[in-house]
Structure 1
Amino acid sequence: MNWQNRNYFDGRLAVNRLTAFWALTETGLGGFLHAFRLPFTGLFVGGLAILWMALIARFTVKPAKTILTSGALVLVLKEVLSPQSPPTAYFAVGIQILLGALFFLGKRWLGPKTLVLTVLTVLLSAIQKVIILTLLFGNTLWQSIDVLGAQITAQMSGLLPKISASSWLIGLFFGFYALGGLLIGMLNSALVEHDFTYRRPPQTLTDTTSSNKKSKIRISPIVWFALAALLIVAAQGYFLNSWALAFSSLARALLITALWFAVLLPILRLSARRRSSDWQERYRDTLSSIRQFIPILRALLTEARKVAKAAPNRKLRTFFTVWLEYALSYDIEHHSADGTDYQRQND
């Protein structure tokens, strides 16, 4: 990064803009990325949080402290802009924030550390999913999968070795997430080390990310959960030849779900709202600034996507590079206030 760009991008607004990127990622960026026809967009979006944290570490003198503060602001904005998010999503973001603050205590080796942290957080996401399934349905879920695997190997007349189907399934699941995390981490690492340059934002911005959306019939997550639970119970009853065990597994899942939604969730939400209110009051100006910039960020996304479409190759990397340069350059062209309470505190 040359000295002209350093004057532009290492200022107070860089962290503010990157926090807006992070907040947008946590409150609905996945729908926009479908335009690139990316498989498993949810996995990709989950890895992007590491990119924003790494860039925040690059553009601040106090990486760990700034990541913790920006992360707290993202959690507050997530509650305000995406209140339907499940508590497990907040837990996952909280773990990412703590790991980011730990990994980015200093600014050396940002690229390699970004790669490692991306793979680690993606794998932790996979582990979280397996733990939740085990808590809800118990070991009988994996036992029924093992029985199915044994039946398949028996029908193959000894062509396949006797295997633990559940172990293979979990191993493949983790392997897929590790590979996805590695690919996303390589992209993140390249972007963190990229030499950003000033890019004049378009004079007229139009947000088309939320327009032209076809209305879709949305099915409640509760319906999907109920269908999945019934399918799992049916598989347990059939393959283990014990419907009593299957229905006890269903009762276990219903009991845990009821305790979560009726007891633990209200307590957690009440505690989070009290903490959130404190943060909203303490960083009112910064939250307002970030929230106001998110629509501009969406419009800049549209412009960056146009540039990426015209690129001969590396369209995804070009998209993120252009989008970041537009956003980081925006206030050079459209001057605003000289920072906020949060930015002054972290300079």
Structure 2
Amino acid sequence: MSTYLNPEKNRIPALLTLAVIGSVWGLLEMALGGFLHAIHFTYQGAVMGGLAISLMAIFMSITKKPALIPLLGVIAAAFKPFSALIFGEPVFSAYVINPAVAIIMEAVAFGAVAFIFKKAMEKHLLAQITTGFLSGALGIVLYAVIASVFGMGKWPMLDMAGKIDTIISTGWPVALAGSITLAIGYYLGKFGMPKLANFKTSYPRAYYITSAVTVVSCWVIPAVFHLGG
């Protein structure tokens, strides 16, 4: 009998998966997100938002725990100070705080939408596409609300029409990217789950060591770049 059929032996630790995927997301936000911001790439939001949604979809596919997804955003957001240090920006500045809040709002939005569509996502591609689109759009809306209330960026200076226009112009590329990348991420998680479970069962020590090394490496790499720079 395949070890994947034994739920006790093959249960993937949700918190360890959270640490691994959250750290990978944070490293990508720090490095790729910081680079795209530095070169003023027009579609930075779509690229990073789509990438974030794909990683959250992988986590959702593996653990089936949407309530933990906001914690992915918290872990990823914790990497943003490294981005400021490496690219020569103040740590306690809008360069760090604004994207960190945006990352957390992305995760909150995804967790909320995924909770609603949890069962449907397991069976229907359309539900995955819908979840990706809605979570991408909702993440922008939540950030706009938080930014307007707490005076972040240009949001407090915009009237209601300006806010709606900005939400639409920045939100649709992220929503469109999310509708594609969620389906991809969910498939990757579903496809890789049996292999990951069998690896954990057959080589438990290697599984935990590899996971720990991945997490530690994600945190060490930015520190090394900062010290080396």
TM bracket, shorter-chain basis:
0.5 to 0.7
Task: Give the secondary structure class of the aligned counterpart of 2:187.
Answer: coil
Which residue of structure 1 lines up, in the alignment, with residue 225 of structure 2? none
Please give the alpha-carbon distance, in whole angstroms, between the structure 2 residues aligned to 1:195 and 1:175.
Answer: 30
- Structure 1 residues 125-204: aligned runs within 5 Å: 125-126=143-144, 169-194=162-187
Please give the alpha-carbon distance, in whole angstroms, between the structure 2 residues aligned to 1:137 and 1:62.
Answer: 33
In the alignment, is residue 86 of structure 1 matched against residue 93 of structure 2? no
Task: Give the secondary structure class of the aligned counterpart of 1:39.
Answer: coil
In the alignment, is residue 72 of structure 1 matched against residue 74 of structure 2? yes
Relative to 1, partners in 2 of residues 1:87 and 1:182: Cα closer, same or farther, differing over 3 Å?
Answer: closer
In the alignment, is residue 292 of structure 1 matched against residue 217 of structure 2? yes
Contact 2:132 2:180 in 1 (8 A): no
Task: Give the secondary structure class of the aligned counterpart of 1:93.
Answer: helix
* Larger RCO (alpha carbons 8 Å, 6+ apart): 2
Contact 1:50 1:100 in 2 (8 A): yes
Number of residue equivalences = 179
- Structure 1 residues 204-223: aligned runs within 5 Å: none
Match of 2:133 among 115, 118, 122: 115
Contact 1:43 1:122 in 2 (8 A): no
In the alignment, is residue 24 of structure 1 matched against residue 35 of structure 2? no
Relative to 1, partners in 2 of residues 1:6 and 1:89: Cα closer, same or farther, differing over 3 Å?
Answer: farther
Match of 2:105 among 91, 95, 98: 95
1:119 to partner: Cα distance? 1.3
Please give the alpha-carbon distance, in whole angstroms, between the structure 2 residues aligned to 1:81 and 1:5.
Answer: 40
Contact 2:70 2:108 in 1 (8 A): yes
Contact 2:50 2:174 in 1 (8 A): yes
Relative to 1, partners in 2 of residues 1:115 and 1:42: Cα closer, same or farther, differing over 3 Å?
Answer: closer
More helix by share: 2
1:59 to partner: Cα distance? 0.8
Q: Deviations over 1:44-94 (max 9, x none)?
A: 3144333322221111143423x2443333343444565634323333333
Please give the alpha-carbon distance, in whole angstroms, between the structure 1 residues aligned to 2:34 and 2:60.
Answer: 27
TM-score, with structure 1 as normaliser: 0.39
Q: Deviations over 1:107-132 (max 9, x none)?
A: 32331323211111123345556667
Contact 1:123 1:177 in 2 (8 A): no
Contact 1:18 1:56 in 2 (8 A): yes
Please give the alpha-carbon distance, in whole angstroms, between the structure 2 residues aligned to 1:137 and 1:115.
Answer: 23
Contact 2:80 2:96 in 1 (8 A): no
TM-score, with structure 2 as normaliser: 0.54
- Structure 1 residues 246-257: aligned runs within 5 Å: none
Task: Give the secondary structure class of the aligned counterpart of 1:104.
Answer: helix
